[in-house]
Amino acid sequence: MRWRIGDVTITKVVELEATGGTRFILPQATREAASQIKWMAPHFMDEEGRLKMSIHALVIETPSGRRMVVDTCLGNDKQGREVPAWNNFQGTFLRDLEAAGFKRDSIDTVMCTHLHVDHVGWNTMLVDGKWVPTFPKARYLMGRDEFDYWRAQHDKGEREEFVAIFDDSVRPVFEAGLVDLVDTNHRVCDEVSFVPTLGHTPGHVSIKISSNGEEALITGDFIHHPCQMAHPEWAATVDYDQKASTQTRRDVFSSLAGKPTLVIGTHFAGPTAGRVVRDGDAFRLDV
């Protein structure tokens, strides 16, 4: 799946799609409640009101030849994950990335919207029992606040999963000297910049793409599913600050409503992208 934004191309590479089983992340989106949001079928929920979600990476190609990956999914071979199915996961992501035209060593930039388990996995890969950078020729851009927060969580050692994620997916690229710690409004190049969308994590960013008068926004996880356009107050259980994440959703949707900006959801299934329009006193995604 590909989109054109002016002279920029964005390609989706899927690691995993699933229907249902989303209550652990969006508890208010019961089947009954979701079924009321008719526009979500068939792309974002099934006939029974079960939500469809996706874990994918987005590859941005600019006219100057840059190739950047936004968020690196779960990765293979990882251990110590709290979601059982994500332990020792064996997917075809790297093969699919290459089949889409992107060899690992052709990627010059990796951007992590935040440092959660499903956004940093393919930062590294297991080679001869060691975690090595998957994209050895890339600069890995991470928010400074985000990095500091997760390093502190790691050092506290209170949650095993946080220690594991930092050690197998963040630390190896940092120690290889590939990480640039940047501000939440960092400009990557003419067409690509970070936008702070705080609340889900302390340093969470979205990625804005502008080219030839066209615009797109790659969400990251300030929104997990389009149902949160109908209900911005449906915060995710994993939001660090649910009040702040709700405010971020309201602010971003209000500013985008009715505009031609293409919103590309980091966990939106199927068509994955659309435009925000007002719908009563909330919003909806027009695909």
Interface with Zn ion by CB under 5 A: which residues? Answer: 118, 221
Least distance in angstroms from the C-beta of 8 to Zn ion: 23
Least distance in angstroms from the C-beta of 63 to Zn ion: 29
Count of other CB atoms within 10 angstroms of residue 14: 17
Nearer to Zn ion by C-beta: 61 or 118?
118
- Tokens 């949160």, located at residue: 228
Least distance in angstroms from the C-beta of 150 to Zn ion: 14
| Sheet with strand 2-5: strands edge to edge | 2-5, 8-19, 52-61, 67-70, 109-111, 139-143, 179-182
Nearer to Zn ion by C-beta: 114 or 231?
114
Say if CB 218 and CB 264 are below 8 A apart: yes
Using alpha carbons only, how large is the chain's radius of gyration in Å? 18
Say if CB 215 and CB 233 are below 8 A apart: no
Least distance in angstroms from the C-beta of 211 to Zn ion: 26
Task: Pick the closest to residue 111 from 174, 179, 199, 11 (CA basis).
Answer: 179
First to last CA, the chain: 14
Nearer to Zn ion by C-beta: 83 or 176?
83
**How far apart are alpha carbons 34 and 22 in whole angstroms?**
12
Nearer to Zn ion by C-beta: 8 or 70?
70
**How far apart are alpha carbons 96 and 78 in whole angstroms?**
19
Nearer to Zn ion by C-beta: 61 or 221?
221
Least distance in angstroms from the C-beta of 54 to Zn ion: 10
Least distance in angstroms from the C-beta of 58 to Zn ion: 13
Task: Pick the closest to residue 78 from 105, 115, 32, 118 (CA basis).
Answer: 118
Least distance in angstroms from the C-beta of 20 to Zn ion: 17
Say if CB 78 and CB 71 are below 8 A apart: no
Nearer to Zn ion by C-beta: 9 or 242?
242
Reading the block at residue 250, the tokens are 């309201």
**How far apart are alpha carbons 114 and 143 in whole angstroms?**
7
Nearer to Zn ion by C-beta: 33 or 83?
83
